Structure 1
Amino acid sequence: MKRIALFPGSFDPFTKAHEDLVRRALPLFDEIHVAIGINSAKQGLLSVDDREASIAGVFAGEDGVKIATFKGLTVDYCKEIGARFILRGLRNGKDLEFEQAIAQNNLILNPDVESYFLLSRSGLSHISSTIVREILRYNGDVTALVPDAVLPFLER
């Protein structure tokens, strides 16, 4: 049986911290599905199509990474793609508290799906999509915060 993990998020935009997490988790799983959750009530910085294309550019040539979008509950999407693991990153204690509650509720909804947490690598834990968007709002330089493949989508 394939070890398939789902890495869900809004990824608006995808950051170097996201990329690092996926690359570090690749040896643990046969496939990692980076899945952009669609929330029609939210207006993002990047369109869903641009997010998907930019992430695909980051992992071009990487067979173990699949890029997709989904709506609805994360555990339902896990079932749809055959994922038994949800991959999440932890930057700090606040993230742990938030992610722990989600993981426990996901286990109630689907006991066959486990959440795996990876700590952010030193030097990347300060990066978040929210901070990147704020820097962009004031025309700041985000080249140190996002993968090169994402930059063209932010320059539009």
Structure 2
Amino acid sequence: MSAKRQRTAIYAGTFDPVTLGHEDIVLRSAKLFDEVIVGIGINPDKHPLFSAEERKQFMEEIFAHVPNVRVECFTGLTVDFAHECGASVMVRGVRTVSDTELEFTMALANHTIAPELETVFLMAAEAYSHISSTLIKQIATMGQNTSSEQLRKFVPVPVIQPLLERVRQQ
């Protein structure tokens, strides 16, 4: 009798900040795979609002109750990170038609580099299909009276106060 092979998936992004849409994709992925590794990509060309360690801490707090989810930071190509983690699947969330085009192109490039890795697309839940990290930053930065209650509709609770504090510092 052969041992069951563990299905490990990665869900990579910058998550700056993590949104309710990101949270939804991770929770749904955790139901599909034995292990989900949230990979927080560190891109030296980007200037994130939160450090990689802060983003990791947010994610660890958000998913502390989900035993098959862990969070790691990485640099370099996502396919290399997938190999390092022993993942066979890369999960990608898709919100809009324009996301689909971009993600399809990226999946083809990843498949060319690492044909043994599969890309699985999860459609964003309707309630989150309009949410992006960029939108959240705009709301928090430009909304002069942005409240915790308003942000609760877009980001997980552990992110709200640090987000408001960070944008007020700038």
Q: What TM-score results when the alignment is normalised by the length of structure 2?
A: 0.88
Aligned with residue 160 of structure 2, among 118, 133, 151: 151
Deviation of the 1:73 alpha carbon: 0.6
Per-residue CA deviation, residues 17-57 of structure 1 (Å, 9 max, x unaligned), is 00011111212101111111001222111111111101111
Larger Rg: 2
Does 2:102 align with 1:113?
no
Instruction: Report the Cα distance in structure 2 between the residues aligned to 1:93 and 1:155, rounded to whole angstroms.
Output: 31
C-alpha distance in 2, partners of 1:112/1:151? 39
Q: Which amino acid aligns with 1:34?
A: V
**1:84 aligned residue:** 88
Q: Which runs of 4+ in 1 moved over 2 A?
A: none
Whole-Å Cα distance in 2 between the matches of residues 116 and 43 of structure 1?
Answer: 28
Question: C-alpha offsets along residues 54-83 of structure 1, whole Å, 9 cap, x if unaligned?
Answer: 111110121111101100011011110000
Give the superposition deviation at 1:2. 1.1
| Gaps in structure 2 of 5+ consecutive residues | 166-170
Q: State the structure with bigger RCO (CA 8 A, min sep 6), 1 or 2.
A: 1
**RMSD, matched Cα:** 1.0
- Picking from 57, 61, 67, the partner of 2:71 is 67
Deviations 1:91-119 (A, max 9, x none): 11111100001001101101110000011
Amino acid aligned to 1:142: L
Structure 1: which amino acid aligns with 2:54? D
Partner of 1:131: 135
**Counterparts of 1:49 and 1:152, CA distance in 2:** 17
Return the alpha-carbon distance in structure 2 between the equivalents of residues 74 and 48 of structure 1. 16
Kindly tell me the number of residue pairs found equivalent between the two proteins.
156
Q: Which has more helix, going by share of residues? A: 2
Letter in 1 for 2:151: V
Task: Give the secondary structure class of the aligned counterpart of 2:47.
Answer: coil
Aligned match of 2:8: 4
1:102 aligns with 2:111: no
1:51 to 34, 55, 77: 55
Partner of 1:94, secondary structure, is: helix
Residue 31, structure 1, aligned to residue 35, structure 2: yes
